[in-house]
Structure 1
Amino acid sequence: MLELSRITAGYDRRAPVVREVSLTVGSGRSVGLLGPSGCGKSTLARVAALLHRPDSGTVVVDGAPVRGWRHRAPREQRTAFGVVFQQPRLAADPRMRLADLIAEPLRATGRRNEAAEAVAGLAERVGLSRELLGRRPHEVSDGQLQRACLARALVLRPRWLICDEMTAMLDASTAAALVAAVETYRAESGAGLLAVGHDSVLLNRWCDETVRWDELGAEDASGPLAKDVR
């Protein structure tokens, strides 16, 4: 289970963008977080993925409280998450070939010898040809690069996926292919999912539950906010 309790977070302690937010995603479940740009949902997603330390509140992953963030989090907790961001060009090192981009988490965790087999299998799963794996980000389309970013998110076989506006910049066919790849992985692994977005049709079709940010009164982060999804 992924539990966020009374999270207050932002980039300026004097004006947090999220206040007193609680969100629970049951193991193996998929939850959509729906809201407009700038409301704070992406900040909450980064807290959930252990990429942003909240000002206050607690995060519990599979029963273990989180006590460190980013590189300070225990490896077991860091590697429990796979994250796909909205803008793949900001999330990818422009110097890396796509094959190296996908394999990067394996190399960072000392599993370099698994890279070739893992990259080949994941490339096929997300729809990347062998020829594309030899290209760098500026030589591929946004959709092709996002496929590589999804493969990178899956390479450590995470127990939790955080997809933050993963399909927002993609055409309908590519978006559908990436959602299908995520669901295939979840069906095989039992991974839980937090999908952030502003497309209610997509989230309602994709997820078991959808939390509407505006219904929770969170746009101005002006008061208590709580939602549990199990």
Structure 2
Amino acid sequence: MSLHAHHITAGHHPGDPVLTDVTLTIPAGTTIGLTGPSGSGKTTLARVLAGLHTPHRGHVTLDDQPLSTAERGAVAMLFQSPRQAVTGRWTLGRIIAEPLRDGRGRAGTIGVTAARVGLTDDLLDRRPHQVSDGQLQRACLARALVQQPRYLICDEMTAMLDPATTAALTTVITEETRRGLGVLTISHHHTLLDAWADHTIQHDAAAP
């Protein structure tokens, strides 16, 4: 069981790829670290794995099936800047509830998941401009977890966080990994990757 990128070539323009023939596997129940210089295509690869960017060549499979056929929410993604990943007019509670449009256990699920990531009930009524970056990233993680994803892509998710918040969120994700969640975490923070990831890949190059 894995999320697998098969020979991915991708970029914003077909003639100028930032990734060329890249293959990467994220096994279920495992945290894979990915590091490398800026501009080497790490974020592009993350977006391809999350189904947010279509590669020029290659494809992605989820548990041996095409990613395009997976159920909604099977792959979730956390971004570096939580403020760019949410609707500023919404409360944190509504942000967390966004994936639950079918009403599955809505109120209970939101409350339990918010508590898991360290958000108190009073914060759920606040909007993004009324909370810190750390509190907002906690809400983004809760939004990802309520989907019950099989795989989670973290693109520099701790870059704007203090050490205490980083530790709290990585602990929650590690608990989910023990339950079978596969995780790709992208970071320039080698100490964090050494402590968190089961295996870290150095991605150095774009096109050869």
SS class of match (1:15) = coil
Q: 2:3, 2:63 within 8 Å by CA — same for their partners in 1?
A: yes
1:40 equivalenced with 2:41 (yes/no): yes
State the Cα distance separating 1:38 from its structure 2 match: 2.1
Provide the TM-score with structure 2 as the length reference.
0.96
Using the alignment, how far apart are the partners of 1:171 and 1:36 within structure 2?
A: 22
Give the aligned partner of residue 99 of structure 1: 93
After the TM superposition, list the runs of 4 or more consecutive aligned residues in structure 1 that deviate by more than 4 angstroms. none
1:4 aligns with 2:5: yes
Alignment equivalent of 1:85, drawn from 72, 75, 79: 79
Give a deviation string over 1:144-187, Cα, whole Å, max 9, x none.
00000000010011110111101001111111111011112222
Matched, 1:191 2:181: yes
Quote the residue 2:20 is aligned against.
19
3-state SS of 1:20 partner: strand
Residues 112-164 of structure 1 deviation map (CA, whole Å, 9 limit, x = unaligned): 25211111001110000100000000110000000000000100111101111
Could you say which residue in structure 1 is the equivalent of 2:57? 56
> Which residue in 1 is equivalent to 2:31?
30
Q: What are the equivalent positions in structure 2 for 1:1-230 lying under 5 Å apart?
A: 1-66=2-67, 73-74=68-69, 76=71, 78-107=72-101, 110=102, 112-187=103-178, 189-214=179-204, 218=205, 221-223=206-208
Q: Distance in 2 between matches of 1:138 and 1:75?
A: 34
- Alpha-carbon distance in structure 2 between the residues aligned to 1:185 and 1:25: 15
Whole-Å separation in 1 of the counterparts to 2:32 and 2:104: 34
* 1:82 counterpart SS class: strand
CA separation of 1:47/1:156 partners in 2, compared to 1, >3 Å: closer, same or farther?
Answer: same
Size of the alignment, in residue pairs?
207
Structure 2, unaligned runs of 5 or more? none
Q: How far apart, CA to CA, are the structure 1 residues paired with 2:144 and 2:89?
A: 19
Residue 37 of structure 1 and its aligned partner are, at CA, apart by: 2.3
Pairwise CA RMSD: 1.1
Conserved? CA contact 2:30–2:177, under 8 Å: no
1:25, CA displacement in angstroms? 1.7
Unaligned runs of 5+ in 1: 67-72, 224-230
Deviation at 1:75, TM superposition (A): 5.3
Tell me, yes or no, if the aligned pair for 2:11 and 2:19 is still in contact at 8 Å.
yes
